[in-house]
Each structure stands twice: as structure tokens, then as C-alpha cells.
């Protein structure tokens, strides 16, 4: 793929941290690109402090994060830093991801396109890019990079932390996102390599046989004894480097691992929930009939001490408390990043976007995990904040999708919105929280779904339909497809129109 100078972007990597160094653009080209971005920004009226200063972009991606935060209505959850971001921004309370699995959901975030339903979607794109670059549109970070931004990724942003393949996810010959990042980093620390970091517990414990690793843990110590505390240290170093560069705006994406399994966080975060009564789990029964229900294999393969949360209420409560502790630990890492941004002075001209890569069932429908096409798997937090936002702190209940992030950030940065993206800019909702959204599309292997303001249709590949009425008390527990054939046909056609383009 060609950048704006007519050269092909190059990506080299340093073995220690998996670093993609900045390519050798000339000062003249950098100035030209900055002026282009600034002019576009001025014309579109995006967030800015000066007409010639394009905004920085900071994306914070949080793994397996349900919209279970105090600012999203879960008063028992301690999430002060995200709540503060919400108070200054726009919370999208009905945001839906494209896929209930990490890799496929992140594919859409990073490309702005519908894509594969597996965790290997970005590697499949990389292989296609190698075979025929002309058939693969640039990723979101590549698009910003071509328009004068320094692009840096730290932690789990694409599916593999650090963006490499191989047995331990550290093979420099296998790039998950070619032509995208100036630096793509994952300092594994005591967890030895990115694969170890990804499923690590306290003080360097690496997952071998999942049955021998505790499904939850709370060890006493500082944040750095768990993977996120260590990688966010690197994110802060990168933020310092980026904010010290006055010539180029930055596009920084920081991936926070928790609350991904196993649920491990420093003990002090669990103490928030030691005596708290959590609300009862809604619709906890296994659904009857054909659905996208699954047996929670990702959760069940860990060491559970022969306990099953579907039949052991005390164990279920402990699992939920440890999940909440991980959310509070993740929130603390968000706080560290936002505090450093504030200290740098760059917060005045930075668009901050916080995104959960999908939801997570905590016993709803007798599922402990994601991977289903229910509301709990597909709904996640989305928050956008920047200086000059109209009506800050007022949430939106419009239906929106992860697909919309790429065009939205282009819109806010004053960059051209590419014609290859499948989503729509959320700028109208940022300007007016009462503005309407659009139906949300999601999928997994074997089925696809459309969520409207009142219904969810799940259409299996063989034509079997599940239709749920969200205006009723039954929500997603009673399939009403048989009694609403016209609505099923209408929503099925809308699904085909969107996905079979």
C-alpha cells in the first residue's frame, strides 16, 4: 500500500518489545501532512484548540467489559475514572459490537468493516494484504498514519498483544497488522512473551494447562504484579514521547486486558466488593429450544475446584465479585492513562475514546462467557470525550455499532472519511445526544443478528429464526418468531442487505 508520499510503508520490528519504528518521512512531508489535516479539521469544525492543530486520538480498548459501570447504571461497581470520563463526554449506552469474540470484534474496530467471525480475522487480512495489497483497504491506524499521525499500539489492541504470530506470539515474521503502526508494543515482563502475558496471573504465572490455573485470584501487591499494571507503564512512557512531539499529532491505542479470564487483580480491588450485595442475575436459566447458547467452555476449562456457578450460588457470587474487582483494576489503569494525558497538557486537544470489545455473561442464560448472540455478549461500553463537546455528560440511548468508530474519528479529526468503511459517523449524536442511531448488526459462525430499538432477530445459516421482543418483560427468553413472520421476513431482508453487499 502506498502512503501519501508515494512510497510503500515499511514495518521493521525490534525483538525486545516488538517495536515498529517510525518510518523515514522527511520534515517537509510531515509539515505538508500536518497542514492538510489541520485544514480539513478547520473546515469540518472538529474538536481543536487552534485552527492549525489537528487533534490527537487516544483509544482505550478494554477486554470483556460489560456495560456494568457506575456511570452506566451499575451503582455497586467502583469505576471512578471511567465515570469521570463519562461525565465529560458522551456515553453510548446502546453500543453493540460486530462479533462476540475478541479478534473479530477488534477487526471491525481497526478496519471499519464487517469481517470474519473468528479470532484470526486480522491475520487472514494480513495474508490477503501480502498476496494482493490492492484488494485490502488500509486499516484505521494506517489511514491516520497516512494523514500525518504517529500511530502507536500498546497492550492488547489487535487480537494478539504486540501484533505478532507464532507459538508464543512473538514471531517477527508474522505481523497481524502490516502497514499500520509506527510502534506496536507489548512488554511481556515476567510473563516472558505475549502469549504468557495474555493469560497471566500474579507475578509472572503463565497458563499452561488451564485446568491447573485458578479461574479467579486476588494477590496482594501493586498493580504491576498483574499484566495490565506492567503494560500500562509502557503506555505512559509512549504517551510521554508522543506528547513531547510538537510536530505531529498522535494516534495512540492502549489495550487493557482485564477483566479477561482468568479474573486476576490485586487484592485491594476485591476489597471493594467484600461485603457488597450484588443484584440478582436476570434470566439465569438455560434457554429452551434452539439458540446460540453454549456450554461456557472458555470459563469451564479453568480450575474451578469442582464447582459450577450455574448450580452453586455462593461460587457464582464469588465469580461475579472477582469480575467486578477486575473491572475496578482496569478502571484504575484508565485513570493512570488519563491522569498522564492531563499532566502533559495534551488533553485539551485529544479525542479520547473508551471501548469494550464485547460483553460478557455472568450467568444470564446460564452462560459464563461471551460467544453467544444475546444482548449480554454484544453490548459493551462506548464513551467519546473531547474539549468542545456539546452537552457533556448527557448519555445517548441511540443504537450504534463498533463499525461507526472509524468514520467518527475521521470526522472529529477533520480527515476524509474513506468510502470503504461500512459504518456511519456518530458526529450527529455527539452534537445532539437525542439524535437517533441505526440498527446494529452482529454475527458469529453459523448465525447473524440485527438489533432494532424494539427487537432482536437472530437468523441461523439454515434459515431458523429467533425473534425477541425487547418491549416485553420476557426480553430474550421467549422466541416469538412463529407469531411474527412478517417482521422476521423484514428484518431478515435488512440483514442480507447489510451483510451481503
CA triple 336-254-107, angle to 5 deg: 155
Please report the pLDDT score of residue 373 as a whole number.
98
With H, G, I as helix, E, B as strand and everything else as coil, classify residue 319.
helix
pLDDT given for residue 501 in this prediction: 64
- Lookup result for grid cell 490485586: 266
- Give the bridge partners for 81, in sequence order: none
Relative to beta strand 56-62, strand 250-256 is parallel
Q: What is the pTM of this model?
A: 0.90
Domains of the chain: 27-263+307-420 (3.40.720.10), 446-501 (no CATH)
138 touches 406 (CB < 8 A): no
Please state, in angstroms and rounded to a whole number, the distance separating the CA atoms of residues 125 and 146.
Answer: 19
CA-to-CA distance for 371 and 438, rounded, in angstroms?
Answer: 23
Please tell me the predicted confidence (pLDDT) of residue 36. 35
Query: Residue 307 and residue 299: Cα distance in Å, rounded?
Result: 12
Rounded Cα distance between 222 and 237, Å, is: 18
Contact 244, 150 (CB under 8 A): no
Dihedrals phi, psi of 55, to nearest 5 degrees = -75, 150
Q: Can you list the residues of the chain whose pLDDT is less than 50?
A: 1-45, 49-51
State phi, psi for 459 to the nearest 5 degrees: -115, 115
Coil, strand or helix at 444: strand
Identify the pLDDT of residue 116: 83
pLDDT at position 500 is 84
Contact 368, 362 (CB under 8 A): yes
What rounded mean pLDDT belongs to the chain? Answer: 91
By the 10 Å C-beta count (0-12 exposed, 13-18 middle, 19+ buried), 456 is classed as buried
Cα 432 from Cα 426, distance rounded (Å): 10
Helices (H), 176-219: 194-198
Amino acid at each position: 500500500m502506498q502512503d501519501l508520499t508515494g512510497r510503500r510503508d515499511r514495518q521493521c520490528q525490534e525483538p525486545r518489545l516488538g517495536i515498529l519504528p517510525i518510518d523515514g518521512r522527511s520534515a517537509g512531508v510531515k509539515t505538508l501532512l500536518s497542514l492538510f489535516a489541520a485544514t480539513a479539521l478547520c473546515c469540518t469544525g472538529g474538536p481543536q484548540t487552534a485552527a492549525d492543530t489537528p487533534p490527537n486520538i487516544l483509544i482505550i480498548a478494554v477486554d470483556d467489559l460489560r456495560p456494568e459501570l457506575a456511570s452506566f447504571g451499575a451503582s455497586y461497581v467502583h469505576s471512578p475514572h471511567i465515570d469521570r470520563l463519562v461525565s465529560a463526554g458522551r456515553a453510548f449506552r446502546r453500543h453493540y459490537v460486530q462479533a462476540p469474540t475478541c479478534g473479530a470484534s477488534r477487526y471491525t474496530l481497526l478496519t471499519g468493516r464487517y469481517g470474519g467471525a473468528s479470532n484470526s480475522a486480522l491475520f487472514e487480512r494480513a495474508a490477503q494484504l501480502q498476496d494482493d495489497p490492492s484488494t485490502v483497504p488500509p486499516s484505521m491506524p494506517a489511514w491516520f498514519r497516512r494523514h500525518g499521525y504517529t500511530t502507536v499500539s500498546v497492550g492488547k489492541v489487535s487480537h494478539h498483544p504486540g501484533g505478532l504470530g507464532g507459538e508464543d506470539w512473538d514471531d517477527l515474521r508474522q505481523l497481524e497488522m502490516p502497514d499500520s503502526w509506527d510502534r506496536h508494543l507489548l512488554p511481556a515482563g515476567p510473563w516472558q512473551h505475549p502469549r504468557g502475558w495474555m493469560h497471566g496471573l500474579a507475578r509472572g504465572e503463565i497458563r499452561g494447562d488451564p485446568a491447573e490455573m485458578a479461574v479467579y485470584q486476588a494477590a496482594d501487591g501493586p498493580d504491576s504484579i498483574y499484566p495490565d499494571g506492567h503494560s500500562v507503564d509502557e503506555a505512559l512512557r509512549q504517551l510521554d514521547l508522543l506528547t513531547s512531539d510538537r510536530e505531529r499529532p498522535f494516534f495512540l491505542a492502549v489495550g487493557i486486558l482485564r477483566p479477561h479470564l482468568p479474573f486476576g487483580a490485586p487484592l485491594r480491588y476485591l476489597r471493594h466488593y467484600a461485603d457488597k450485595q450484588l443484584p440478582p442475575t436476570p434470566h439465569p436459566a438455560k434457554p429452551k429450544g434452539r439458540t446460540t447458547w453454549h456450554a461456557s467452555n472458555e470459563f469451564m476449562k479453568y480450575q474451578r475446584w469442582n464447582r459450577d456457578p450455574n448450580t452453586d450460588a455462593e461460587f457464582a457470587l464469588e465469580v461475579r465479585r472477582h469480575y467486578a474487582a477486575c473491572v475496578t483494576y482496569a478502571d484504575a489503569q484508565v485513570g493512570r492513562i488519563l491522569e498522564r494525558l492531563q499532566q502533559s497538557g495534551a488533553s485539551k486537544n485529544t479525542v479520547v475514546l473508551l471501548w469494550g470489545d464485547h460483553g460478557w455473561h455472568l450467568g444470564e442464560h446460564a452462560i459464563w462467557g461471551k460467544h453467544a448472540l444475546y444482548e449480554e455478549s454484544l453490548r459493551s461500553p462506548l464513551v467519546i470525550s473531547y474539549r468542545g463537546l456539546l452537552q457533556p455528560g448527557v448519555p445517548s440511548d441511540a443504537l450504534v455499532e463498533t463499525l461507526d468508530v472509524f468514520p467518527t474519528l475521521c470526522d472529529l479529526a477533520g480527515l476524509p472519511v474513506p468510502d470503504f468503511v461500512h459504518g456511519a459517523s456518530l458526529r450527529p449524536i455527539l452534537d445532539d445526544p437525542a439524535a437517533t442511531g441505526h440498527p446494529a448488526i452482529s454475527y458469529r459462525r453459523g448465525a447473524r443478528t440485527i438489533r432494532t430499538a424494539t427487537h432482536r432477530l437472530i437468523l441461523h445459516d439454515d434459515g431458523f429464526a429467533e425473534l425477541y421482543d425487547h418491549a416485553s418483560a420476557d426480553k430474550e427468553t421467549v422466541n416469538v418468531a412463529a407469531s411474527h413472520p412478517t417482521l422476521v421476513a423484514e428484518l431478515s431482508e435488512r440483514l442480507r442487505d447489510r451483510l451481503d453487499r
